[in-house]
Structure 1
C-alpha cells in the first residue's frame, strides 16, 4: 500500500473517533495577538528564489542561510503590489485584486488540542480573466490553509511554504502539458496538473535549467514511505468556506494529500466586514502526516488565504512564521 493510500485509509478510520473540543470555547481575550501581512506571490517558486538573476536575495538565502522573513518582512505589501500588477513575475493580471491582506492570528492550547483564530478583512469581487464566470473556484469564496514544519524539511524553516512551491506546478512557468502527465508514477495527476511537493521527494530538482522543478523525478515508494514515517513532510490543514464549511487535514511530501474531517476541524464565517476562521487540532492525532505538537517547542508555519474564489497559486501567502507553544515565536500559543 502506498504512503498516500495508507494515509487515506487511516484517516477514514480516525475521522470516526476524533472528537476535538470546539475552538470557540477558548477565551480568546487571554490569547496574545500576532499580526502579519499576506502578500500576492505571483509565479515566485522554490527554484526562483534561489537564482540570483531572478531574486536579489538568492545569495543571502542559499549562502548565508537567511530566512525570507529576515529580508522581506517589512516590504511584503510592496512586493505584493509589484506582482499583482504584473510588474514582476505575473503574466495573468486580475484587475483590482488585492496586493496584500492583513491577518490577525491568536493561538492557545491545552493538554489535548491546539486552537487557532485567524481574522482578515473580506474583499471585493474582481472577475478573473482565466476563469469562466470570473470565479476560479465558484464553490468557495475563501480558503485558508496552514503548513507546519518541525525542522525536518530542508529549507522550510527559512522559506516557509516556498519549500513546496515549484516552477512546474499548476499555472507556473514550467508546468508540464497534460499529455506529459501520463508518464507520472506514484503521484496523482488525474486533475491535470502537478500539486505541491517537497524537493526531498525527488531524485533531482532543476533550479535554473528549463524545465525547472522535478515533478517527474520521484524517489522510490520505499524511500517515500521512510520519509513519511520519519516525519520528513509538511503538515497541512485547510478550511474551505463552501458547503457550510469544510475541514481538511493532510500533508505535503511527494504531492499534496488532503483528507476531510481528520485531525483538524474548522469553523469560519463573516463577522461584519471580516472573515473569522477558528481551528481545533489535536496535538497528537496519531495520523501519518501530522506533526506531533508539544509544549515548549517552536514550529515554522506558513499561512495562505485564497480570497475571492481563487485557486492554486492565485492566493495570498505569509513569509515564514514561528508558532511557539509557550515557546519563542511571532505566534505565541499560551496554555489555557
Structure 2
C-alpha cells in the first residue's frame, strides 16, 4: 500500500505543478487592462497632462488664463454629412477618441466659495454620483427620461455631475431631494460654479459656457451660446454657410476629417450670418455642415467671455476667460471679492474626447490678493499684463471612481473621508492616475488575484508532495 502511494505521489505532484504553471500562464499571459468599448472603457496612452494657470482681477472683473498642450486644435464638434441623398450625423461621443476627430477641445473650471466644504478636500470626485453617464454601469436613457425631476422637468436623458446632498441616498441616482429642498440648497450656496470653454460651441464668438453643478450639471439661467442645426421633422439642417460671404455653402468632409480647416476660417454657423438651408442647392456627397449653431448668449449664461482670442499655436492652447466679480446672479455664480479665498479644480478634453475621457485636477486653493495655491494678482486697468509666473497644475485621467464608491466599505480610505481628511493627505497624482484604472478593472483584478492564489496553492502542494516522497525514499537524509 505504501509503495502504491509513493508511486502515485510523484505523478500527483507533477500534475499539480504542471496545473499551477498552466493556470499562471493562461491567467497572466495578457493582463486585464485593455480597451473595451462595450463596457465604456478606453484607457489613454498618456495618464497625466500639464496645465498652466494664471489669475488676476481689477475693481470689477476676474480673469483666468489657461495653457495646455494639444497635438492639434480640436475645433469641430458633431457635424452632418451629405451621403447619397441623406444627411447623416458624424461625431457622436464614443469611449476614448472619436475616430474622425469630431469632439471639440475644452477646458473647464469648478469654483466654490466654501459653501460646499467637501469640494476643497476632494475636488471633482465629490460631483461623480451614482449612475453617472458613460460609466460601465450607468442609468439608462429611458430611466432618466422617466424621472419626474431629472427627466420630466429638466428634460435630461443622462445622469450628469451632481452634489451628494441633492440626493437622499448617495447610492441611488434617482433619490433626488424634493424641489423645496433643492431650492433652499441653491439659495444657501450649495452648488459649484462651472466655467466651461468649448473650442467649437463657444470660442468662435468669444464666449464660454456658464454652468452650475447642483442636482445635475445645469446651464445658468438664460440662453446658451449653442443651438441645434438639425430639423428633426425634415431630417435636414436648418442653416448653411452664406456662399456670397464665405465662398462656400458647405465644408468638405475630407478637409474636416484631415484637419485642413484653419481656426481663422469660417468653420462655424452663427445665427444672423448663416443663411436658411436650401435643400435644392445642389448638394453632393461629402458636403458637411456643423450640427450646432452659435448665437449670442443671454441672461446669466452670458456672464463669461473670452478675452482676446482663444488660440492654438505651436502645440498649445492659450485661453483667457473673464467675468465680473459680482455678476448679479448669486443663484448661478459664486460672487468673488478682493481678499477672498476660494477652491478650484480643473479639467481638459483634447484629442477628440468627450464625456468622462478627460484629464482632471485635484482641488487647489485660490486667493484674490492673498495666499493660495493660485494667487490672483490685483491690477489697475482693463486687462492684465500677465507678468506673474504660471501656476503649474498636474492633470490626470480619473478612470471610473465615484463618490458612493469612495464612501463605501470597498474603499479603505472611506474612514478618512468621514473624518474630513483631504485626498492629498493619503494620495498623490502619481497614485491616483493608476487607482482610477484599477477601479475600471476591479472585478478582473480580483478574479486575477484568486487565480494567482489557486496557482500558488497548487505549486506549494506539488512541492510539498514531491518533498515528502523524496524524504520517504531517503529516510537517512
- Conserved 8 A contact 1:143-1:307: yes
2:197 corresponds to which residue? 239
Rounded Cα–Cα distance in structure 2 between residues aligned with 1:97 and 1:132: 11
Of 218, 225, 245 in structure 2, the residue corresponding to residue 257 of structure 1 is 218
Rounded Cα–Cα distance in structure 1 between residues aligned with 2:184 and 2:314: 47
* Greater Cα shift, 263-272 or 231-240: 263-272
- Conserved 8 A contact 1:167-1:173: no
2:116 corresponds to which residue? 153
Rounded Cα–Cα distance in structure 1 between residues aligned with 2:188 and 2:337: 17
Of 185, 201, 221 in structure 1, the residue corresponding to residue 166 of structure 2 is 201
**1:44-94 deviations in whole A, cap 9, x for unaligned?**
xxxxxxxxxxxxxxxxxxxxxxxxxxxxxxxxxxxxxxxx977xxx96225
1:306 corresponds to which residue? 349
2:245 corresponds to which residue? none
1:133–1:147 CA distance, 2 compared to 1 (3 A): closer
Rounded Cα–Cα distance in structure 2 between residues aligned with 1:291 and 1:273: 33
Rounded Cα–Cα distance in structure 2 between residues aligned with 1:329 and 1:112: 21
- Conserved 8 A contact 2:191-2:214: yes
CA deviation after TM superposition for structure 1 residue 192, in Å: 3.0
**Aligned-residue RMSD, C-alpha:** 2.9
Matches within 5 A, 1:125-140: 130=95, 134=99, 138=102, 140=104
Rounded Cα–Cα distance in structure 2 between residues aligned with 1:114 and 1:300: 15
Of 142, 150, 163 in structure 2, the residue corresponding to residue 179 of structure 1 is 142
Query: Any gaps of 5 or more consecutive residues in structure 2?
Result: 1-32, 75-90, 225-296, 380-477
1:108 corresponds to which residue? 56
Rounded Cα–Cα distance in structure 2 between residues aligned with 1:316 and 1:202: 26
1:105–1:175 CA distance, 2 compared to 1 (3 A): same
- Conserved 8 A contact 1:113-1:280: yes
Rounded Cα–Cα distance in structure 2 between residues aligned with 1:227 and 1:233: 8
Three-state SS of the structure 2 residue aligned to 1:291 is coil
- Give the 4+ runs in structure 1 shifted more than 4 A: 124-129, 188-191
Matches within 5 A, 1:6-17: none
2:323 corresponds to which residue? 281
**1:92-124 deviations in whole A, cap 9, x for unaligned?**
225x64311111111100111110110011136
Matches within 5 A, 1:1-336: 92-94=41-43, 97-123=45-71, 130=95, 134=99, 138=102, 140=104, 142-188=105-151, 190=155, 192-206=157-171, 214-242=172-200, 244=204, 246-259=207-220, 260=224, 261=297, 262-266=302-306, 267-287=309-329, 288-336=331-379
- Conserved 8 A contact 1:144-1:238: yes
**1:277-323 deviations in whole A, cap 9, x for unaligned?**
10101111011220011111211101000112211111000111111
Query: Any gaps of 5 or more consecutive residues in structure 1?
Result: 1-83, 207-213
CA deviation after TM superposition for structure 1 residue 265, in Å: 1.2
- Conserved 8 A contact 2:65-2:319: yes
CA deviation after TM superposition for structure 1 residue 148, in Å: 0.5
Rounded Cα–Cα distance in structure 1 between residues aligned with 2:164 and 2:322: 29
Rounded Cα–Cα distance in structure 2 between residues aligned with 1:174 and 1:154: 28
CA deviation after TM superposition for structure 1 residue 204, in Å: 1.2
Three-state SS of the structure 2 residue aligned to 1:134 is coil
Bigger Cα Rg: 2
Larger proportion of helix: 2
Rounded Cα–Cα distance in structure 1 between residues aligned with 2:163 and 2:369: 29
Rounded Cα–Cα distance in structure 2 between residues aligned with 1:306 and 1:132: 10
Rounded Cα–Cα distance in structure 1 between residues aligned with 2:34 and 2:52: 25
Rounded Cα–Cα distance in structure 1 between residues aligned with 2:97 and 2:155: 21
- Conserved 8 A contact 1:121-1:273: yes
- Conserved 8 A contact 1:154-1:200: no
TM-score normalised by length of structure 1: 0.65
CA deviation after TM superposition for structure 1 residue 132, in Å: 9.4
Rounded Cα–Cα distance in structure 2 between residues aligned with 1:93 and 1:104: 26
